[in-house]
Structure 1
Amino acid sequence: MIQRPTLRESFPRPAQPTVLFLGSLLAVESVLVGAHLLATDAAVLSVRYLLYPFVWINLGVLAVRAVDVPVPADRRSVGAAAVAAGYLLVLAWTSGLVGAGSGGALTLRVAPAMPGWGPVLLVGGPVSIALVPFETIGYVALAVLVYVGVGRAAAGVLSGLVGLVTCVSCVGPVIAAVISGLLGGASTAAAGGASSTILGVTTGAYAYDLSTGLFVLTIAALWATLR
């Protein structure tokens, strides 16, 4: 009699260090949010927009932590790093984190916002930069995974499928970044209103629902091919 695996056995269980690490992240994030609410007049206008940034941050950090990220040391790995850097730039540009500047003098300020959404680093002048924490961390995590995937794909023909899946799956966040930017990106919202009450309510309806969903799917697809 053949014993078939159960549905529960088909999914890998997270290792105890991973569970402890995630628990520590959640604890720190909860303390930061609680402290921010107590110290400011911020109000939680939308629970899902309060949680979305931590979905990006935690998944991105856990995914990078779960793969072996080699240091660029040869032509193949340097080429993979260049591809990943280009991909990160595309994400940053289409999402509004980086854009064309006014051409004026260099300015630098920090806009307070709810943890995850802020604090936002705003740079003006030759280049316009608005680094929203959760998008910045999420896109950097994606770029790191792309670097690993491209490096492995370049190692041989048999592993070329990894590179194909990586490229196809990574189109999602670019599309989501464009839609999010058109409907009202986080960087635009944070730059336009430097108050602590910004929780994405000023963005277009469902823009971050879509972008968060695609981000999760992309992280899952990359992790599945790289683990």
Structure 2
Amino acid sequence: MSNTARRQGTMRAVSLMTSPEVALALAGLVVNVALIIAYLAATDTVVQSLNDTLYPVVWITLSIYLVGSLLRRGPRLTGSSLGVAVALGYGLVLAAIGTPIGLSEESATVMTTWATPGWGPIVMYSVGPIGGTILPFEIIGYAALSYAVGCAVAAGSRGALAGTLGLFTCIGCVLPVIGAVVGAFGGTAAALQPAATSYGLATGLFAVTVLLMLVAIPLESTME
């Protein structure tokens, strides 16, 4: 490899690591972790699994980076009616095969359960035949993927095909999820976090989908 190629590679790496979207994602990461630590310090929460606690951090951080990259260097979604329509439809599909939207036979109810930031606050609702469980990190992740798919359609790129992988990110969301069950045992309150191991697979698929989106959707170069 020539010295020129090495310098260009180094400049590109530095440009990437110091880009506004990286700074924004890192800020989101720090804030998310700080909120989790503050929540654990302020409550008598017992963390059953560190991985489960941190899955939302991964989803939220990657979502911030994906959307930040597209907003700064990606195709404009606002100029494409088809892109907007596809983004909305894709989001509804993700929500329908995940936990946010489903069928319900319960009466109109809304119940909020607290959990570590990202998992909670969990909102379980039922309105007529529609009901579901809303997890903050899923909503953020689904919204980011939907926006990316819309941008892919607006650009006419293959990124929309990459988005089909995102449909499987809710493989761990199809189970009824109750993020925190608070009770008293020996005078100590214990919050039991969801321990579905399938969320690990879902998180991996989400990360791969974000990577494919960034590769497939044309982004403007920031290099001079």
TM-score under structure 1 normalisation? 0.79
Q: Separation in 2 of the partners of 1:218 and 1:54?
A: 16
RMSD of aligned C-alpha atoms? 2.6
Residue 220 (structure 1) aligns with: 211
Q: Separation in 2 of the partners of 1:101 and 1:176?
A: 23
User: Quick check: 1:102–1:125 contact (8 Å CA) kept in 2?
Assistant: no
Runs of 4+ in 1 over 4 A off after TM superposition: 1-4
Within the alignment, does 1:17 sit opposite 2:16 as a pair?
Answer: no
Percent identity of paired positions between Structure 1 and Structure 2 = 28
Within the alignment, does 1:180 sit opposite 2:172 as a pair?
Answer: yes
Residue 166 (structure 1) aligns with: 160
Q: What does the per-residue CA deviation read over 1:137-173, in whole Å, with 9 as the maximum and x for residues that have no partner?
A: 00000000011110111xxxxxxxx2x3422x22222
Opposite residue 173 of structure 1, the aligned amino acid is G
Residue 185 (structure 2) aligns with: none
Q: Separation in 2 of the partners of 1:148 and 1:221?
A: 13
CA, structure 1 residues 219+122, in 2 after alignment: closer, same or farther (shift >3 Å)?
A: same
1:41-56 to structure 2, matched below 5 A, reads 41-56=44-59
The number of residues matched between the two structures is: 204
Q: Separation in 2 of the partners of 1:28 and 1:39?
A: 16
Within the alignment, does 1:116 sit opposite 2:118 as a pair?
Answer: yes
User: Quick check: 2:110–2:126 contact (8 Å CA) kept in 1?
Assistant: yes
How far 1:39 sits from its partner (Å)?
A: 1.9
With 116-125 and 6-15 compared, the bigger mean Cα shift is at 6-15
Opposite residue 190 of structure 1, the aligned amino acid is I
Q: Separation in 1 of the partners of 2:111 and 2:192?
A: 17
Structure 2 segments unaligned to the other structure (5+ residues) = 183-189, 220-224
Secondary structure (helix, strand or coil) at the match of 1:190 reads coil
Q: Separation in 2 of the partners of 1:59 and 1:8?
A: 26
With 19-28 and 78-87 compared, the bigger mean Cα shift is at 19-28
Q: Separation in 2 of the partners of 1:121 and 1:7?
A: 51
Structure 1 segments unaligned to the other structure (5+ residues) = 154-161
TM-score under structure 2 normalisation? 0.80
Q: Separation in 2 of the partners of 1:198 and 1:6?
A: 50
Within the alignment, does 1:133 sit opposite 2:136 as a pair?
Answer: yes
Opposite residue 219 of structure 1, the aligned amino acid is V
